[in-house]
Amino acid sequence: MEFTMQIHGISRDLIDLLRSVGADRHPLEFVGVLREEDGIIHELNLLPGTISGEHSASLFVDMMPLDLHVVGSAHSHPNGVIRPSNADLLFFPRVGRFHFIIGYPYGGNDWGCFRADGTRVDMEVIG
């Protein structure tokens, strides 16, 4: 039996936080996992051992919490390209269903949400 939850959107506070973390870490990428509560993606977890560089960021999937509320990932693209790279497409299926890319210059519309296969998803911002 597979556990699937209905996701209704992402909190505005979390989108603002992701943009802020992207800008703060620039020109390095950041990566973390996202959690939901009551169908709203609302929390970013930065995991121990995460490695950040100018062209990539990686986390140890073994460090992910065993948590049914983890729904995906978020990471930045300091180059401003808001679409999944080949490396992203290999990473996404290991972490969840929804993946956010936050791009330079980290403004209000400098982000996108994608499924594990790289398909763009319209995600409502709530709050």
Q: Is 101 helix (H, G, I), strand (E, B) or coil?
A: strand
Write out the two tokens for 103.
């791009």
> Running DSSP on this structure, what letter comes out for residue 91?
H
Is 29 one of the catalytic residues? yes
- Choosing from 29, 36, 37, 43, the catalytic residue is 29
Q: CA-CA distance, 78 to 65, in Å (whole number)?
A: 27
Helix runs in the chain, H state only: 12-25, 86-91
Q: Give the catalytic positions in this structure.
A: 29
